[in-house]
Amino acid sequence: MQIACAPCLPHEGVNMLEIDDAGVYAARDRRRMRMTMTKSLVQQQFGAHAAAYATSVVHAKGASLGRLVELVRPQKHWQALDIATGAGHTAAAFAPHVATVIASDLTDEMLAEAGKLAADKGLANMHTRRADAEALPFDDASFDLVTCRIAPHHFPDVPLFVAEVWRVLKASGIFALVDNIAPDAESTPGYSSTQLRDAAVTYNAFEKIRDPSHGRCLGLAEWNEVIGDTGFELLHMERLAKDMEFEPWAERLGADASTVARLRAMLTEGTPALKAFLKPREEEGRLWFTLDEAVLIARKPG
Q: pLDDT tens digits for 133-163?
A: 999 999 999 999 999 999 999 999 999 999 9
Over the stretch 184-210, which tens digit does the pLDDT of each residue have? 999 999 999 999 999 999 999 999 999
First to last CA, the chain: 69
Collapsed DSSP state (helix, strand, coil) of residue 53: helix
Extract long-range pairs of 73-81: CB within 8 Å, 24+ residues apart: 74/98, 74/145, 75/144, 77/144, 78/143, 78/144, 78/145, 79/142, 79/143, 79/144, 79/145, 80/143, 80/144, 80/145, 80/146, 80/147, 81/136, 81/138, 81/142, 81/143, 81/145, 81/146, 81/147, 81/168
Instruction: Please tell me whether residue 214 adopts helix, strand or coil conformation.
Output: coil
pLDDT of residue 227 exceeding 60, the answer is yes
Q: What is the predicted pLDDT for the residue at 45?
A: 53
pLDDT of residue 14: 43
Q: What is the CATH number of domain 45-204+214-242+291-299?
A: 3.40.50.150
Phi then psi for 138, rounded to 5 degrees? -130, 150
Identify residue 76 by its one-letter amino acid code.
K
Which pLDDT tens digit goes with each residue over 39-74? 565 555 544 445 554 445 554 557 889 999 999 999
User: Which pLDDT belongs to residue 3?
Assistant: 33
pLDDT tens digits for range 163-181: 999 999 999 999 999 999 9
Q: Which of 186, 192, 178, 203 is nearest to 278 (CA)?
A: 203
**Model confidence at 6: pLDDT above 80:** no
The helix (run of H) or strand (run of E) holding residue 253 is none
Checking if the pLDDT of 17 tops 60, the result is no
pTM score: 0.81
The overall average pLDDT reported for the chain is 86
> In the chain, what are the domain boundaries?
45-204+214-242+291-299
